[in-house]
Structure 1
Amino acid sequence: MRAVFVSTPSPDDPLSVLEVGERPEPEPADGWTTVTVKAASLNHHDLFSLRGVGLPAERMPMVLGCDAAGVDEDGNEVVVHAVVSSPGWTGDETMDPKRSLLSEVHQGTLAERVAVPRRNLLPKPAGLSFAEAACLPTAWLTAYRMLFVRSGLRPGQTVLVQGASGGVATALVVLGRAAGYRMWVTGRSEEKRAAALRLGADQAFETGARLPERVDGVMETVGKATWSHSVRSLRPGGVIVTSGATTGFDPSAELNRVFFTQLSVIGSTMGTRDELESLVQMCSVTGVRPVIDVELPLDEAREGFTRMLEGRTAGKIVFTV
């Protein structure tokens, strides 16, 4: 089958080890099934995999990709939940110390077919296209958990999203707007800021700009480049929810400001199957839809990866199969 995969890591030149070609058909284990993939979306996780972050060479070759929507063996249209918990685990699967994402231990979704646990399948609503549904399991679920599960923020409060154009950031703007939050964003370019305003952001600022007032919460996925600004943008008692660090993991902690102004710093990782089900339901009820930057055939995966690596995104990059 056709697939996008990596056979050896390259920390400094990830695109040099990106391969598109033939891979063996999946062989589902007990309790697993095979999904025929119709669409799969790209995440920063896939670039990290090419660099060997979280994916050691001994697990390669590895088909990349966490997210997919497709058709199961019974002909049902489904969305694939990307978090694979360990056998016997119960409760919040993101708290399972032995959890993994598809493409870390098990082969990923950027392929014609993928093997997944049966419990990881959710029905795809008819109102969502395969491309839209494929955007939900990682970036949109991450945003949903950050804002609605982990932050403790209430509708009507002001939330700053660092980085206006990525998959999680655009999801935060759209979901927050639909739920009644006042959403502010930062963006590196006028084009990215204008795009965020079109999505429903109330205000958009240059990266690092002084804000007209301090905010109740900051959604942080950028890391080193924005961390200090995130801390300084919060009102006393405010909260930062962080789920990633695309510019690096060694920010200035600003600890003096954290304890003097009694800030909360909360980590958030992915989301549960139940939360993904709630997100799918929210999309159905509100009419909210994932923001897709570009759809590309699977064989043109290199173009999608290049766009993400260069930061030329305004929403999700989706591969159709």
Structure 2
Amino acid sequence: MKESKQTNVKVRVLSHREFGNVKVVNDGEYNGYACLDDLCAILNLSKKQVKEKLDGHLYTVSPKDPKETFHDMDFVDEFGIYVMYIMSKEKNTIRVQEWLDKEFLKPLHEQANAHLGLNKKDRLFTESNLQLEVLRNMATATNVIKSGHFKIGKAIPELTHSHLIGWWHNLNDQSIFMLQFNCQSDCCLYGNIRMNIYLRKMVDGRIDFCDMHITFLDLDDDNHEFLVIDTIMPSSVISDGSILDYIMEDQFIDEDIMDQESLDLIMILNGTMSFHRSRRIEKKEQQGIIEFL
């Protein structure tokens, strides 16, 4: 299916009682493609907008059976399917993704592994496979946010939240308030991550925002620091205790940006985040004094 037009392919129709039908094909090489019109209808996307973004990932397909009523239809490859998930603003997109993955794409991947003599648990990553894995995680994580169901194993305890509010309202306290979260991710690059959040009051005395420094450590690789983010946090987030939600939403990349650091963050947030501990850090005479809360 490397040509712009593919003929004599077997078209299958996947049916879902809620989402409707999606026509799918594979090219005999374990690559999956879905009908663009069907996906646009389910994901509430403009076909024109999608085609502008998916140049190079669209194919014209003619069915093998001449009796079929549909001919020369636009189909999108697996890369494009995941991009469409990201573009969609529908809250049920994650369920559509899970359905198509289970009924169509995952079986193709398993067939490809079997052809190569690999077990189900074995993973063979080429550059293209890794890119698809990144997109899959990005699409899932993005739509977890859209659905409003974050994967939080343990939220910030009330006592820690009380300490944080007290720190915020004490203008004389210029210490750094640190929150730590552990993340168990199901992405291919990271398994166990720690997210350290450092909150510092702004130098100009503003009380509606504070500086926020976030570092990500790979716990499986000697606490290797692989991602750093510097931004700000509004005081309202501290007051209502929605810090983790704010980070997951506010730090999400724009759908048009796909640099490596952003992809790392997307895959991390596809895991389950659990509160670990907090501490208050003061620096006096170049010595760090740490108070664990």
**Structure 2 length as normaliser, TM-score?**
0.30
Larger Rg: 2
Structure with greater strand percent: 2
**Structure 1 length as normaliser, TM-score?**
0.28
